Amino acid sequence: MTKRIAMWSGPRNLSTAMMYSFAQRSDCHVVDEPFYAAYLNITGLAHPMRDAVLSSQPQDPHAVAASLVSESDAPVFYQKHMCQHMIDGIPRDWMGQVTNVFLLRHPARVVASFAKGYPTLTAHDVGFALQAELFDHCLALGAHPVVVDSADIREDPEGMLGKLCAAIGIPFDPAMLGWPAGGNPADGVWAPVWYGSLHKSTGFAGPEGPLPELSGRHAEIAEEAMAHYARLSAFKLT
């Protein structure tokens, strides 16, 4: 029986590092943002490398959902998902058939990081409201979602990954603590735009410093996200 893990995150939130971490397990298959092409097809958004993304993945969200609950050749099937992709038209009923994990990061850090490469940033883009909505959807399905904060993982990768693995019912593998530089074969076609700095890494970065100072619209976006972040933080692994 395949253990399917759906990791729900906003952008700039250790999500790709977590995918790389799980990819180092000998028992694990990983997939990178499987609904991205469907999301772009529905919204018509002009994201970087839009045409390449659309041609690299299935655009039918129902076909994507079916693939996410299918059996895998590997005992563990890790799925990196972006919360902001789960708009109307993207099915959610399949979420009751996977183990859902919600990866948090302080909104000020997310906004400051994402805004560097996406100047037209909106509250929807950072995904906090949808993250809380998806968490509630899991509860309504009778699922038992797990919550983990990226800051805690960066503070103690071995300890927190061990707790995460225990919470989702798989053994911890020390191989998860590092990966080869240069990216992963599972990277989405959009990796050259977003994963450049991570491709230089070989493991989790250390603890982050003080919160960045935001102003204007960026401060408003972070403030709007704080209520959702705080609510889910109450459930996080410690």
Do 188 and 36 contact (CB within 8 A), yes or no?
A: yes
Separation CA 143–CA 31 (nearest Å): 22
pTM: 0.95
Element (H, E) at 230: helix 216-233
The per-residue pLDDT for 117 is 67
* Mean pLDDT across 98-114: 94
- pLDDT tens string 27-80: 999 999 999 999 999 999 999 999 999 999 999 999 999 999 998 889 999 999
Query: What are the residue boundaries of the structural domains of the chain, listed by start?
Result: 3-233
3-233 fold: Rossmann fold (3.40.50)
> In Å, how far are 4, 109, 155, 161 from 209, measured between CA atoms?
34, 10, 11, 21
Q: So what's the pLDDT on residue 79?
A: 98
What is the spatial distance between Cα 196 and Cα 87, in angstroms, rounded to a whole number?
A: 27
Mean pLDDT, to the nearest integer, of 80-101? 96
Contact 188, 33 (CB under 8 A): yes
How would residue 174 be classed by pLDDT, with cut points 50, 70 and 90? very high
